[in-house]
Structure 1
């Protein structure tokens, strides 16, 4: 029951300048076509010239080859480890260790891609830099506006429906006890949406300082932008870090408690989901 393993770990594979989020009904299709799919995404933020587009595609191809051979097997092993834990006497501490390891894979990707992406950023003209920063700011503003359109109660209610849907996909029809566990956890979940928006703004402001500083050398530019790309927690408030940790603990505890309530049919459903993830990864690794 790893939240967003398939949707985020497989589909959000590469980063373009500061992020690259791709959507496709097929994880394999998305993964294997990152080079040209990314061009459509990047066009929403900045118009690259022919040389820059070639540079970006080379970055993605190189990163994808590294990711396929080193990271996807690690993802697969994580899923296999959690499946083993799930079918044994599941302990919350062991489960948290595995989830934290899985989350580290995204950081590994940022660490690998930061330098070539920063080098690409260094080639942007002043007009391109302004266009990129303005478009990211617009995206953040839109997210903030959408966030503020709902009350905290509305957001919590919407999240509860999403949680029911998510766990039903994994274990099938939920019984009253399972719904009660999910509802209780949702009530305790800390709404950190405003803190995440603050983090995104802080990170963008840091990027603005790099992009608009005409006095730094190219080497300094690349080093500073690499930091913005990789060191995400530098731009997170203590409140956000504490909220993330608290919510992670709630999530782990919910998985532990739900595991105790599963009947044979539900347990088989979870195993089938694990097998599907492993099969998807095998398909991407081999093709």
Structure 2
């Protein structure tokens, strides 16, 4: 059960890769990504007409590749999850499927990183500084928002989101299901500060490349491509360990919830899977 409903591609899926670093929460409708992204990009950097044309070409090319090669994979993933759901769920199989689904974002980075880095090389020093400054401002804002809440308030907000998420899939939750979700939420590692450190570390690495005027194009593209694609290289060992532990907790929660589902809830989940498959089919054929 991972959230692909309505197939809105988040900024942390395509537009993040297009601007190298940013992690955002708003969504763009898949079929209008090229048009909509231009509005958001203006918040980070003023591109010349030629650069904007180059970026739109990258988005179009990446989207065409994504539609023809990646959406069929997502569709297969959903079908595989539905099959697992309707059998006796196996921990290793379910975990492998979730890991596979989460790896799709990396595929986008691997596809587009060279062209993105080449675009980055065309930016003037002032444009590069503007991009860095705006991303830094966003990171700072996120840190301030984090500090506005206590640890308990953050955990409570996450629990509310979790309950809403599972209600979308299951409908009304039983007391046992609510308890399982609450217990999993209490055990979840809050890695917000570690994620903040990761974003800052990665931005610092990008800044070293972007503001280095001595690099030729080949070295610039190579070094910026590393920043774009090698995300885990900028994560601390603690963050990586927390991510793995939270993944295991998530899979275990799915297994426990599966054992509590009523027939009505099972039918609802299967309908959700079918809706996702149908939506993906429409997007592939569009």
1:81-137 CA distance string (max 9 Å, x none): 000000011111110000111111110000001000000000000110010000000
| Aligned pairs, number | 282
Q: Within 1, Cα distance between the matches of 2:26 and 2:236?
A: 29
Task: Decide whether the 8 Å contact of 2:44 with 2:130 is kept in 1.
Answer: yes
> Could you tell me how far 1:6 is from its partner in structure 2?
3.6
> Could you tell me how far 1:10 is from its partner in structure 2?
3.4
Where do 5+ consecutive residues of structure 2 fail to align?
Answer: none
Q: 1:58-69 to 2 correspondence within 5 Å?
A: 58-69=57-68
> Could you tell me how far 1:23 is from its partner in structure 2?
4.4
Q: 1:40-55 to 2 correspondence within 5 Å?
A: 40-55=39-54
Instruction: State the partner residue of 2:182.
Output: 183
Instruction: State the partner residue of 1:35.
Output: 34
| 275-284 or 248-257, larger mean C-alpha shift | 275-284
Instruction: State the partner residue of 1:143.
Output: 142
> Could you tell me how far 1:9 is from its partner in structure 2?
7.1
Instruction: Give the secondary-structure state (helix, strand or coil) at the position aligned to 1:45.
Output: coil
Instruction: State the partner residue of 1:166.
Output: 165
Instruction: State the partner residue of 1:276.
Output: 275
With normalisation by structure 1, the TM-score equals: 0.95
- The RMSD of aligned alpha carbons is 1.5
Q: Within 2, Cα distance between the matches of 1:269 and 1:146?
A: 36
Structure 1 residues 103 and 7, CA gap change in structure 2 (3 angstroms):
farther
Structure 1 residues 286 and 105, CA gap change in structure 2 (3 angstroms):
same
Instruction: Give the secondary-structure state (helix, strand or coil) at the position aligned to 2:172.
Output: coil
Q: Within 1, Cα distance between the matches of 2:193 and 2:257?
A: 29
Structure 1 residues 58 and 279, CA gap change in structure 2 (3 angstroms):
same
After the TM superposition, list the runs of 4 or more consecutive aligned residues in structure 1 that deviate by more than 4 angstroms.
19-24
1:9-64 CA distance string (max 9 Å, x none): 7344423221576845xx7xx21111111111110000000000000000001001
Q: Within 2, Cα distance between the matches of 1:22 and 1:143?
A: 11
Instruction: State the partner residue of 2:193.
Output: 194
Q: Within 1, Cα distance between the matches of 2:71 and 2:283?
A: 8
Where do 5+ consecutive residues of structure 1 fail to align?
Answer: none
Which residue, 6, 12, 20 being the options, matches 1:18?
20
Instruction: State the partner residue of 2:209.
Output: 210
Task: Decide whether the 8 Å contact of 2:21 with 2:203 is kept in 1.
Answer: no
> Could you tell me how far 1:7 is from its partner in structure 2?
7.0
1:169-226 CA distance string (max 9 Å, x none): 1001011110110011011000000000000000000000001112221110011101
